[in-house]
C-alpha cells in the first residue's frame, strides 16, 4: 500500500513562505505530499518557485499537487464559466511547472441547472476540454529540447484533473455526480473530500465500514486503485458544511479511516491532503493514527498467529501421543493396570483430538461418567 500525507499549502509553522521552503518543512515532519494553493489568481512571479518546487519533487519522492481557483462557477452563465476557465488555465500552466500529479477543481453552484444528467453532461463536456488543455500544456515528446527543463514532461504522465466533492446542497458535487463525470472523462479523478461527504451525508462517515462502503462504491463505479482525498474536521448542519475545524474537535474522526486503511487498504495507492485549519499539525495527527492502527493490527495478527501455533502444537502433541500408544501397547497395559480412570481420560483425550482433527463435533465415542443412562 502507498499512503502519502501532506498539508494543503505551505505549512503554518514554516518560517519562510515559499513553496520550496514549505516542502523542506513537510519532509522534516515526515510527510511526503503537498497541495499548492492557487486559490486566488496565479501570479507570474510565482512561476520561478513553482519550477524549483517541480525539480525538487522530481528528484525526490515528494508528491506535488495543485488546487485550482477559489471561486468556480462552471455551471454559471457563459461569462462566469469563462472567467472560471481562465483562472483554471493559469493553474494548469502552474501544474506543469510544479510537476503536479493532481489538479483539483471545484465546480461551484448548480446555477440554472437542476441536479441530474443535464448538469453532468455539461460538465462532461467542460472537463473533456480541461483534460485536453492539460495534456496540450504538458507537451509532446517530439519537442523534447524545448522541454529539457521539465524532465517530468517526458517521463511522467500529465497531471490528472481532480473533481472535488462539495459540502453544501446548493453546490454541484455529490459523490455520485463526481463519479459519473469522472467515469465519462479519461484523465479525471474523483477528489474525495471526506469533510464534505460527511457533512453532505448528515454525518455519515462514522465507522470503518462507512469508509469501506465508500471506497468499494468508487472502485465499482470508477475503478482503479489510486485515490486522492482531502480530510479535515467539519461542523455541519442540515447536510451542509458550516465551518472547517481541527480534526479533534469534529464529529468526523480520523480513527475509523485509519482503521480501514490499515486493515483493508493494502490494494490502495492513496494521497490524503489535510485541509484543516491546522494544516500540517492535523496531517501529522493523521499519520500518527494510521501508524497506531497499523501497529494494533500487527499486534492482533501476531496474537492470532501465536494462538494458531499453540493450537497446532497441542494437536501435534496429542497425535504423537496417540501414535506412541499404538506403537507401544505395553504403555496402555501399564495405564490400564494403574486404573480404569486413567484409561477413560485417555479415551476422552483421543476422542477430543479426533474432534479437533476433523473439526466436527462428535458425541459417539464420549462416555460421560455421570450419564445415568
Partner 1 sequence: METRLDNSLTKSFVVDSMSTNFSIVNFRHPDSLDAGSLVTKTALKIGAQVDVITSNQDEVFADFNYGIINWRAILQNKHWLLISSTTVLEGNSPSNAWGASMIFGELEGTKTVMIVDLPEDYDKISEMWGRIINRIRQIHILFFTKEALDAISKLENTSNLLLLKKIKSKGLVPIVCTYDEDTSISNIIHPSGELSLQLQSQFPFHSWLAHFINGLSLTNLNKSEIRYAASCVENYKIPFN
* C-alpha cell at position 362: 462428535
Give the span between the Cα atoms of 50 and 323, in whole angstroms: 75
Q: What does each C-alpha distance from 310 to 10, 14, 139, 149, 304 come to in angstroms? A: 52, 52, 61, 61, 10
Q: Which of 109, 173, 256, 265 binds partner 1 (CB under 8 A)?
A: 109
Comparison of 11 and 158: residue with beta carbon closer to partner 1: 11
> Per-residue x/- marks for partner 1, 310-349, CB under 8 A?
----------------------------------------
Comparison of 87 and 294: residue with beta carbon closer to partner 1: 87
By CB under 8 A, the residues from 156 to 215 that bind partner 1 are 167-168, 170-171
| Residue of 32, 26, 95, 104 lying closest to 18 (CA atoms) | 26
- Min CB(263)–partner 1 separation in Å: 31
By CB under 8 A, the residues from 51 to 70 that bind partner 1 are 70
Q: Which of 1, 28, 71, 299 binds partner 1 (CB under 8 A)?
A: 71
Give the span between the Cα atoms of 273 and 270, in whole angstroms: 10
Find cell 500408544 and name the residue.
325
Comparison of 109 and 158: residue with beta carbon closer to partner 1: 109
Comparison of 152 and 244: residue with beta carbon closer to partner 1: 244
Stretch that binds partner 1, among 23-31, 122-130, 146-154, 270-278 (CB under 8 A): 270-278
Give the span between the Cα atoms of 366 and 138, in whole angstroms: 77
- Work out whether 50 is an interface residue with partner 1 (CB under 8 A): no
Find cell 510565482 and name the residue.
46
- Work out whether 40 is an interface residue with partner 1 (CB under 8 A): yes
Beta strands in the chain (DSSP E): 2-7, 33-37, 63-67, 100-105, 160-164, 188-193, 226-231, 233-237, 240-245, 269-274
**Residues near partner 1, by CB under 8 A:** 9, 12, 15, 37, 39-40, 70-71, 83, 106, 109, 167-168, 170-171, 232, 234, 237, 241-246, 249, 275-278, 281
Amino acid at each position: 500500500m502507498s499512503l502519502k500525507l501532506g498539508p494543503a499549502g505551505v505549512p503554518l509553522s514554516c518560517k519562510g513562505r515559499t513553496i520550496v521552503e514549505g516542502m523542506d518543512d513537510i519532509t522534516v515532519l515526515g510527510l511526503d505530499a503537498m497541495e499548492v494553493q492557487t486559490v486566488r489568481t496565479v501570479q507570474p512571479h510565482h512561476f520561478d518557485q513553482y519550477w524549483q518546487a517541480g525539480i525538487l519533487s522530481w528528484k525526490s519522492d515528494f508528491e506535488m499537487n495543485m488546487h485550482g481557483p477559489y471561486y468556480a462557477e462552471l455551471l454559471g452563465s457563459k461569462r462566469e464559466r469563462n472567467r472560471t476557465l481562465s483562472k483554471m488555465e493559469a493553474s494548469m500552466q502552474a501544474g506543469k511547472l510544479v510537476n503536479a500529479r493532481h489538479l483539483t477543481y471545484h465546480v461551484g453552484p448548480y446555477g440554472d441547472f437542476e441536479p441530474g444528467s443535464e448538469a453532468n453532461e455539461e460538465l462532461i463536456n467542460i472537463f473533456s476540454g480541461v483534460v485536453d488543455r492539460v495534456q496540450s500544456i504538458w507537451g509532446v515528446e517530439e519537442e523534447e529540447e524545448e522541454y529539457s527543463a521539465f524532465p517530468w514532461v517526458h517521463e511522467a504522465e500529465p497531471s490528472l484533473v481532480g473533481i472535488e466533492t462539495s459540502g453544501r446542497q446548493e453546490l454541484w458535487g455529490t459523490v455520485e455526480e463526481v463519479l459519473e463525470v469522472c467515469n465519462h472523462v479519461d484523465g479525471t479523478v474523483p477528489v474525495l473530500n471526506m469533510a464534505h461527504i460527511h457533512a453532505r451525508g448528515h454525518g455519515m462517515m462514522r465507522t470503518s465500514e462507512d469508509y469501506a462502503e465508500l471506497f468499494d462504491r468508487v472502485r465499482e463505479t470508477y475503478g482503479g486503485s489510486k485515490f486522492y482525498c482531502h480530510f479535515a474536521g467539519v461542523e455541519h448542519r442540515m447536510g451542509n458544511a458550516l465551518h472547517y475545524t481541527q480534526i479533534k474537535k469534529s464529529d468526523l474522526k480520523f480513527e475509523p479511516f485509519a482503521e480501514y486503511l490499515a486493515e483493508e487498504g493494502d490494494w490502495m495507492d492513496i494521497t490524503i491532503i489535510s485541509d484543516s485549519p491546522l494544516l500540517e499539525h492535523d496531517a501529522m495527527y493523521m499519520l500518527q493514527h494510521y501508524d497506531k492502527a497499523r501497529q494494533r493490527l500487527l499486534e492482533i495478527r501476531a496474537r492470532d498467529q501465536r494462538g494458531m501455533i499453540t493450537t497446532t502444537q497441542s494437536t501435534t502433541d496429542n497425535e504423537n501421543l496417540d501414535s506412541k500408544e499404538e506403537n507401544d501397547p505395553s504403555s496402555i497395559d501399564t495405564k490400564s493396570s494403574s486404573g480404569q480412570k486413567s484409561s477413560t481420560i485417555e479415551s476422552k483425550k483421543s476422542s477430543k483430538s479426533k474432534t479437533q482433527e476433523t473439526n466436527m463435533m462428535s458425541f459417539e465415542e464420549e462416555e460421560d461418567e455421570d450419564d445415568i443412562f
